Structure 1
Amino acid sequence: MPELPEVEVSRLGITPHLIGQTVAKLTFRTPKLRWDIPHELKKMEGQIIRNISRRAKYLLIETNVGSAIVHLGMSGSLRVLDADIAPAKHDHVDLKLTNGKVLRYNDPRRFGAWLWTENGEHQALLNMGPEPLTKDFDAQYLFAKADKKRLAVKQFIMDNKVVVGVGNIYANESLFSARIHPCRAAGSLTEDEWVRLVKEIKQVLETAIEQGGTTLKDFAQADGKPGYFAQELRVYGRSGEPCPSCSGAIQEQKIGQRNTFFCGACQN
């Protein structure tokens, strides 16, 4: 599914086309995605889009009367198109602008969401940890949070209550770069190891955003071009291939029901 870099790339892609524009009409071709689509979203009609922000993997399309909360789910994507282009299969939501453009939401699996908030708060946004690319996310915070935790460090950093947006692909890559075994208990890491891991999480996510997001089967950028970071993946999806550092075989196992890739020699 799209992870934080893909969602951030989507935000960057649609923002120049939406900021300052007026919503002419919202069209819903299905009453329900992951959850029912709230009728209150129609309040955006006639409103100027003031900002496009992101919290974890949610995008907020902000107006003076409230905000649409958009989640891409497993296979969702956003495009900015001419409004006269006919909708295709799985095009479930259109946010039409008065300038003749439309923000179109496509989601074959219908596991995404369009929600509504009038005050920036919503149940979907509760109990979340800090954003990984902010100053609030640092080694001291994680060292204290992980104290005496037996949970595998990979599961720990993928917990949205600890930090948002470190999905499976980027957890694998960050742990490899930090030379930390994904099965280690979170509470066993030293503060110096957390310093390394925080640095690598930030670097891996920033690189992914810069390069356009990971190329996933169901994801493409707002302009229709795929992301390119998949070419840079060092361990994810490379079970049995040579480790890029020591040439030993990349191993694979399930941790928390998620495929996990690592080098048993380089990561300890």
Structure 2
Amino acid sequence: MPELPEVETVRRTLVELVSGKTIERVTVTWPKIIKKPVEVEQFKDALVGQVIEEISRRGKFLIFYTTDFALVSHLRMEGRYGLYTPEEEIDKHTHVIFYFTDGTQLRYRDVRKFGTMHLFKKGEELAELPLSQLGPEPFSEEFTVARMERMLAQTNRSIKTVLLDQKLVVGLGNIYVDEALFKAGIHPERSASSLTKKEMKILHHEIIQTLTEAVAKGGSTVRSYVNSQGEIGMFQLELFVYGRNGKACKTCSSELERIVVGGRGTVFCPKCQKRKKSKSR
């Protein structure tokens, strides 16, 4: 599933590809992608004549701002956008096409059909699900160490489970949670409330640093991810633990282990990320 760095990279490439284009018509061949309360025909009719003015991001969601609407799109596991010409063959996994007045087409392709699109009147998108309950952006002033301390102190859930919950901070998924926890030296099964203030400060820093570096590298291509221009990410070359089960730790050479935390496969270093709870806060 694309996480913040991948979605941000897609956003940046889409800005280059479709900003300022006018939608002539829309086709939808997999109606379940379009979420209520807007029906498919309403979705298609509303976007006719709309100009794409801005493309934003909230956590793992893309937001297409048109003249009057905000289209909130989640790529889920395999969703992908690309700009095409009419001469190019339409792939069988293409489920939504935005036809522009200049003859080009923005196609949404999704092999597993898990992606979603919500349409709101502009200005209402942040007050409604799926965006209304999201936590702060990791690069924002709202995401402070103090906020982390307050939220983590309130729960005995594992720290990995808490970080995957988009209410503490948005944009983190399996890849970058594993990486940030490794760099912070924190075992993924540690109770969130057991972290010391020092550990929280380090973790806060590593979350921001890891995501910053991943964005700079265009995200991680570990399965099928490419940006909207068909380019792969390069941060997978920098990964310390994710996807490296059984390999040597880049820091201490110990064998990396895989466990399941909160239903998610998790790779960690048993030496660099000891489970023992720190005694002083």
TM-score, normalised relative to structure 1: 0.95
1:12-161 → structure 2 map (5 Å cutoff): 12-33=12-33, 35=35, 38-42=40-44, 43-118=46-121, 119-121=124-126, 122-161=128-167
User: Could you tell me whether the CA contact under 8 Å between 1:38 and 1:115 is conserved in 2?
Assistant: no
Instruction: Work out the CA distance in 1 between the residues paired with 2:241 and 2:57.
Output: 28
Per-residue deviation at 1:38?
Answer: 3.3
What is the match of residue 202 of structure 2? 196
How far did 1:126 drift? 2.1
The answer (yes or no) to whether the contact 1:41–1:68 under 8 Å persists in 2 is no
Percent identity reads 37
CA offset digits 1:124-182 (Å, max 9, x no partner): 11211111121211211100111142111111111112211110110000000111111
Aligned-partner Cα distance in 2 for 1:236–1:45: 43
CA contact (8 A) 1:53 1:61 kept: yes
Other structure's SS at 1:184 match: coil
CA contact (8 A) 1:76 1:218 kept: no
- In structure 2, give the amino acid aligned to 1:63: T
Tell me, in whole angstroms, the C-alpha distance in 2 between the residues paired with 1:27 and 1:148: 47
Q: Quick check: 1:2–1:216 contact (8 Å CA) kept in 2?
A: no
Contact map agreement 1:132 1:166 (CA 8 A) in 2 = no
Check the 8 A contact 1:140/1:191 in 2, yes or no: no
Aligned with 2:5: secondary structure?
helix
Q: CA deviation at 1:225?
A: 1.5
Q: 1:148 to 1:117 in 2, by over 3 A?
A: closer
> C-alpha offsets along residues 197-226 of structure 1, whole Å, 9 cap, x if unaligned?
111111111111111111132321111121
- 1:13-54 Cα deviation digits (max 9, x unpaired): 111222222111111122223856633322121121111011
- Residue 179 of structure 2 aligns to which amino acid in structure 1? E
- Number of residue pairs matched by the alignment: 268
- TM norm structure 2: 0.91
Please, what is the CA RMSD of the aligned residues?
A: 1.5
Corresponding position of 1:252? 258
- Quote the Cα distance in structure 2 between the aligned partners of 1:246 and 1:238: 14
Which segment is superposed worse, 30-39 or 178-187?
Answer: 30-39
Residues 47-93 of structure 1 show CA distances to partners (whole Å, capped at 9, x for unaligned) of 21111011111111111221211111111101112233231110111
- CA offset at residue 120 of structure 1? 2.0
Change (3 A) 1:215 1:34: farther
Give the Cα–Cα distance (whole angstroms) in 1 for the partners of residues 154 and 132 of structure 2: 25
Is contact 1:52-1:61 (8 Å) kept? yes
Matched position secondary structure for 2:258: strand
Distance across 1 between alignment mates of 2:40 and 2:135: 26
Q: Which amino acid in 2 is paired with 1:167?
A: G
Misfit runs of 4+, over 3 Å: 34-38
Determine the C-alpha separation between the residues in 2 that align with 1:96 and 1:14: 15
Residues 239-259 of structure 1 show CA distances to partners (whole Å, capped at 9, x for unaligned) of: 121111111111111110111
Structure 2 contact 28–40 (Cα < 8 Å) conserved: no
1:120 maps to amino acid: E
Conserved in 1, the CA contact under 8 Å of 2:34 and 2:40? no
